Amino acid sequence: MKIRNKIKTNWNITTRFLVTLIFIVIIELFINLLFWNQIILYTKENFTAPTPEKFTLNFSKYMAFKNGIPFVKEEGIRQIQENNVWIQIVDENFREVYSFKKPSTVPVKYIPIKFAHIYKYDIANSSIFIGEKKYGSRNFSYIIGFPLNRVAKHTLVFNPSSLRSFFWNGVLLLLGMDILVAVIMSYFVFGKKMGKPLQNIVNGIDELSKGAYGTNYQEKGVYKGVFSNLNNLGKTLGENKKKREELDKIRSTWISSISHDLKTPLSSIKGYAEIMKDPDYTFSKDEIQQYSEIIYNKSTYIQSLIQDLNLTYKLKNKAIPLKKEEANMTLLLQNTIIEILNNPLYSNKNVNFYPEDENIKAFVDKKFLRRALSNLILNAIIHNKDNVQIDISIYKKDKIHITIKDNGRGIPEKDLNYVFERYYRGTNTSSSTEGSGLGMAISKQIIDAQGGSINIESTLGEGTTISIIL
């Protein structure tokens, strides 16, 4: 069925082209006939130079009579000389009565049959044209001869009905030959070289619409650029599909993890709340304090998780206006590191700070940038062993460069492209600290919003380096 549809589509394209081409051939033929007909009529009616026939017919005005004998006036003599012709005037008996510049081989007397034929045949290497001049009751004929190298005359004898039949048969024959040539050329030129590649393009688009992105087309012929773009489109769509599938997988894992992280504190809150509402048990002050603190911490974690989710979507949709101000980046980064190390959980971590200058200024939103830097540093601490060494540096060269480098576990190459995705969550952690998996995504979104860029490089077993440019 598929093959039949493809053949049908291919023939539809070729047939449409053939019909169009034949239609164009017919129109062109009639336009050409009409054009040449108009050209001939225009030439006949508007040709300004005097033709031999017109010259001969009009020459009678230059003739006069003296004592009943015709002669050519001075103006006529000038016309004869300018046009390099000769003239002979004969009477009713076909006897010469006047001549001027007549060749010696031209006879002075004609018999009727020869005089009738001189219009058809040449005399003395001249093309002959005859006119008439009346004088009273007498009729005189005059012959004007034009040199053959200037005027050549050919007599055509034909049957008008046969000519019309020949003309229309010729037109039909020409039209048939044009159509035959058009069909042959269309099949080999369009059908083979244009129609088939065009059909491949149509089929390729159809395959892409069905999600088949693996077909690779030869980039050649008239549609070389189209096939190149088709291959690139298939490759891009294939990569996007693969990435989407991987993201869907990560999203599912993330949703499962985040559901677990929500379930755990909620279970604790629910459990301690049920204990505290038991009327049969009397709680000591210390127990109430302990349970209340657990409920508070778990609630705070849930609140933090929800806030992170809300923040990442606001950053994505640019719904949070930044309050930029001039800040000492060295001092901001130093205070961020101190704040982290003041936390009892991370006080024993090996974090080194290497500022190039104590006063590196930039216009940033200090609150959000501090959070981004804190997330990145905490990520290096949490997702590595306790003895990891973290080196943080800052310097300015055209732009501000911040580097966070550790010698920890590293990140697998297959995970590097997803570190800054909202659904990525590190699993190679030795810490039980709960996390939403949104920290790295939030950091990138904040740095992007500040007009900066962030890049990560990592080698498994050697460590990770995060580079920030502001």
Q: What is the pLDDT along the chain (470 residues), one digit of tens a residue?
A: 444 554 454 555 556 666 666 666 677 667 766 766 666 555 555 544 568 888 888 899 999 998 889 999 999 999 999 989 999 999 988 999 999 999 988 999 988 888 877 777 788 888 889 999 988 888 999 999 999 888 887 776 666 776 667 667 766 777 777 777 767 766 666 656 666 777 777 777 877 787 777 777 777 776 777 778 888 888 888 888 887 887 777 667 667 766 766 777 788 788 878 888 777 777 788 878 888 888 888 888 778 777 777 777 777 777 777 888 999 999 999 999 999 998 888 889 999 999 999 999 999 989 889 988 998 999 899 888 889 999 999 999 889 999 999 999 998 888 887 787 755 555 443 444 445 567 788 888 889 888 899 999 999 989 999 999 99
Query: May I ask the CATH class of domain 225-312?
Result: mainly alpha
Q: φ, ψ for residue 86 (rounded to 5)?
A: -130, 160
Judge contact between 429 and 382, C-beta under 8 A.
yes
Q: Which amino acid is at 207?
A: E
Q: How far apart are CA 247 and CA 423, in angstroms?
A: 8
Number of other residues whose CB lies within 10 A of the CB of residue 64: 13
Regarding pTM above 0.85, the answer is no
Instruction: Report the interhelical angle of 160-185 vs 2-46 (nearest 10°).
Output: 140
Whole-number Å distance between alpha carbons of 335 and 331 = 6
Pairing mode of beta strands 126-135, 138-147: antiparallel
**Maximum alpha-carbon separation in the chain:** 168
Summarize pLDDT for 118-163 with one digit per residue, the tens: 777 788 888 889 999 988 888 999 999 999 888 887 776 666 776 6
Interacting residues of 300 by C-beta distance below 8 A, sequence separation 6+: none
What pLDDT digit, counting tens, does each position of 25-52 carry? 677 667 766 766 666 555 555 544 568 8
Distance CA 368, CA 366 (A): 6
CATH 3.40.50.720 for the 321-469 domain, yes or no: no
Q: Report helix angle 439-449 to 366-382, nearest 10.
A: 150
Under DSSP, is residue 319 helix (H, G, I), strand (E, B) or coil? coil
Q: Is 52-147 in CATH node 3.30.1450?
A: no
Q: What's the CA gap between 353 and 374, in Å, rounded?
A: 14
Distance from the first to the final alpha carbon of the chain: 60
Q: Which of 461, 453, 395, 469 is nearest to 420 (CA)?
A: 453
Q: Where are the domains of the chain?
A: 2-47+158-205, 52-147, 225-312, 321-469
Q: Are strands 389-397 and 350-355 parallel, antiparallel or unpaired?
A: parallel
> Do the two domains 225-312 and 321-469 of this chain adopt the same fold?
no
